[in-house]
Amino acid sequence: MEEEKSKVLEIGSFVSFSSVQNPESFIYTDGFVKDRITLRNFARPDAKNVFSKCLFQIYPFFTNTHKKEAQNLLDESKSHHHGEDKPQGKVGTKSQKEIHELQEKLMIEFRFNQEAFKKVTNNPVSFGQPIQLLHISSNKFLALRPVEADMERENYKLFLEDITSDYTVFKFMPCYRHQKDSEGLIFINDHIYLTSAILILNRVPYVHFTEISRPAGGQEELKSIEPEIKTAKSVGKSLSNAVYRGTGSQTTASKSYVETKKLQKYKIEVNGSIETPVKLMLNQFSQYIPDENNFLCYGDTVWLNHSEYRASLVVTKQLDSKSSTSSMKVDFDNTVKSDNFKQFVGNTNGMWIIESENYQKGGFLPWNTPARFRHFSSGQYLCVKSVTKDDKSKSKDLRISLSPEPDQDCLFELNYIESTLPKGEPRAQQYVLKDSFAMFQHCESKSILHLTIGKQGSSSSFWKPTLSKRWTEEDAFRVIKANFNEVWETNFLISCFPKLRDFLDDLIESNLVIIPLIDHFANLIFIAIRNPHLILHSSRKFQER
């Protein structure tokens, strides 16, 4: 801890922000459909707690001159489209040549900002220095605008925005006097204030949240949002009563119905306050790692692909016909390739997040070092369980399984196969390279992941993940890293589907639409869930356009 405390925070670093009073409560946001920014407790195991959604990368302040010009043009076009009065001579006067020139200026500005970022990476960050925070999971920038917060109406709302602006600029400010005597440098695990660079009512807004008080009964209570919760409950009794009034954040409590229909326990909203600053602990996940880096890192998403049979380790749902309940099991599935079998296309059910023993720490993934593999969509951890055999001996058998909690049974290590290591890379024996061939070993039992071919009837066969005490050449797995687009798109799908299902429930409850329309919508959701690659392909085309 002392060694880390002495490290200076640098531009490009990946960081998280936690509560000083409760260091395992972090600023968290999904960044897609669920865009509310909250404080989430990671002390209790929860499949929904994905630490990458707490991570931000520190960027310098960018030049936004042409971006502002383009944004103003878009805003004016929208106003004109909606029939609002337009400033004389501004909307509709841009010729195709002028628009083309603006596009070129935007690209030049983008490249300039990109080069500026590369030049200042690993430079120290100082108190009062303008910086920007890129949310890693959603690839959006944190922003604070002078708009009412959702819960604490006297405060201001934090957003995630696609484009940088004056509202995405923040500063780290010292909490204590002695921090001002450190030449302005910020150190890892420092207590800081996070402030917006834009004044609101001529005052500095601070990132703020209200700590939860825990009564003797143990039930969480947040007094400042109790009236809002009671209002939302009364509104949520009937869909027909949900009438929207106003625009932006100025709405009645009826708008809260959509967000609080299935009301969870009290959430701690993170917002901006000009009255009450809150101390934050600045935690570093890892230093800056270039995009062209060839090594795997903690936090990366990978497929575990059996090299001989081209089968990926996946999680499937198994339906019990007797009890009509479903459970998840670890299995092997065929690998798909596209572009004339040159490009690997992994199953989204076979995506695994690599986690360090200490989930708050990142960096390069070393060989022969314990790590956890967390299933991307279910949030459960790959593990090895001891199961009693069905025979009379009642002996124990080790089986590959899933665990909701990250315990010792969930620790695995990747061991390199020397003959597959590249000769020209000096660190190849120290850290795991992308697309490396490896032996996948369970730390506690020292058993090796193995693919067994089982028989089903007289003709058909199936693949089954088993454990072996001895490693053979057939037990080589290729650890294939998912690229940014694949991870982003899968995150987007996981975020959208619960909302789509809720919307379908609302349609059925409201009796406002005919049954064939509901059936058609349900079929679309079913097709999307069973064939996510169709949705991903469509979203790629949309992004290209």
Locate the domains of the chain by residue range. Answer: 2-62+113-213+268-286, 223-265, 301-481, 486-544
- For the stretch 488-504, pLDDT in tens is 988 888 888 777 777 77
Q: What pLDDT is recorded for position 34?
A: 81
Which is it for the CA torsion 174, 176, 179, 180, positive or negative? positive
User: Distances from the Cα of 393 to the Cαs of 371, 386, 396, 397, 445, in angstroms?
Assistant: 34, 15, 9, 11, 21
Residue with tokens 């991870």: 487
Rounded to whole angstroms, the Cα distance separating 18 from 261 reads 28
Distant-in-sequence, close-in-space partners of 116: CB < 8 Å, separation ≥ 6: 60, 62, 63
Per-residue pLDDT of 271-302, as tens digits, reads: 999 999 999 999 999 999 987 788 999 999 99
DSSP annotation of 254: G
| pLDDT at 228 (0 to 100) | 39
CB < 8 Å & 24+ apart, contacts of 174-183: 174/127, 175/279, 179/127, 180/127
Cα–Cα distance measured from residue 403 to residue 299, given in angstroms and rounded to the nearest whole number: 19
Relative to beta strand 268-273, strand 156-161 is antiparallel
Q: What is the pLDDT of residue 336?
A: 58
Burial class (CB in 10 A: 0-12, 13-18, 19+), 337: exposed
**Euclidean distance between CA atoms 482 and 345, whole angstroms:** 9
In this prediction, residue 512 carries a pLDDT of 56
Name the CATH architecture for the domain at 301-481: Trefoil (2.80)
Q: Which two tokens stand for residue 96?
A: 């195709």
Measured CA to CA, the distance from residue 229 to residue 266 in angstroms comes to 8
Q: Which segments of the chain have a pLDDT < 50?
A: 1-3, 5, 86-91, 213-265, 338-341, 530, 532-545
| DSSP conformational letter for 541 | H
| DSSP letters spanning 308-358 | TTTEEEEEEEEEETTTTEEEEEEEEEE-EEETTTTEEE--GGG-EEEEESS
Q: Say which CATH class 2-62+113-213+268-286 falls into.
A: mainly beta
Closest to 124 (Cα-Cα) out of 60, 180, 70, 76: 60
- Phi and psi torsions of 60, nearest 5°: -75, 175
Q: Do domains 2-62+113-213+268-286 and 301-481 have the same CATH topology?
A: yes
- The pLDDT score that the predictor gives to residue 345 is 64
CA distance 422 to 434: 12
3-state secondary structure (DSSP) of residue 388: strand
pLDDT in the model for residue 511:
62
